[in-house]
Amino acid sequence: MKTVFVTVGTTKFDQLIESITSPENILKDRGYERLVLQVGKGSVLPTADSCPHISLEAYRFKSSIAEDIERSDLVISHAGAGSCLETLGAGKPLLVVVNDTLMDNHQLELARQLYVDSHLLYCTCRYEKCLLSVIPSFLLENVIPMQDNCTLNQPLLLLIIPFLLHV
């Protein structure tokens, strides 16, 4: 089943959740059949029947979202560093919707840079319009997969290298 996973981290992002569960559902038109929502501190926790056209699961928090990312075909995230890196690390297409009600959100810097490097798609504008316009043109072919961690294959060495150099 083609699945979309939406994650908002530890904060709340009601507008994204509302727009993604709205009746005129673009996801269904794009062939997605299942929707998993992580709504955080959001004011509503949508029930399974609140979205008749698509199979829906919603929860507030999990200690790890790795499994939900792994099972999805598209991830929509609020620009949190953890979810961005985890999603791209798992090789899943990522759409970042920026929460413009959060002032001075420094996590945006990362999303913006990853967008500049063509790893993800990202929109700052009013997401209702944005989502509707971006997802249909979501061309996975245009996104460059992100390199794993860094140039060295053994990241565990990284933090020890300086010690080795100077001891």
Partner 1 sequence: KMALLVGLSALSFLLMLVSFRLYVVLKAGRNCPFRAKESFAVVIVAGSGGHTSEVLRLTGSLSSAFSPRYYVVADTDRMSEEKISTFENSRGESTSQFSICQIPRSREVHQSWSSSVVSTLKSFCSSLPLMFRIRPDMVLCNGPGTCVPLCVAALLLGILGIKKVVIVYVESVCRVHTLSLTGKILYSLSDYFFVQWPSLRDKYPKSIFLGRIV
Residues that bind partner 1 (CB under 8 A): 9-11, 61, 63-64, 80-83, 85-86, 103-104, 106-107, 109-110, 112-113, 149-152, 155-156, 158-163, 166-167
In whole angstroms, the minimum distance from the beta carbon of 159 to partner 1 comes to: 6
Contact 36, 4 (CB under 8 A): yes
Taking the least distance from each CB to partner 1, the nearer of 23 and 162 is: 162
Residue with tokens 């791209």: 88
Cα distances from 149 to residues 65, 85, 154, in angstroms, run 19, 9, 9
Taking the least distance from each CB to partner 1, the nearer of 55 and 113 is: 113
Which residues, 6+ apart, have CB-to-CB distance to 31 below 8 Å? 2
Residues 165 and 161: their CA atoms lie apart, in Å, by 6
Contact 59, 40 (CB under 8 A): no
Taking the least distance from each CB to partner 1, the nearer of 49 and 104 is: 104
In whole angstroms, the minimum distance from the beta carbon of 163 to partner 1 comes to: 5
Taking the least distance from each CB to partner 1, the nearer of 68 and 86 is: 86
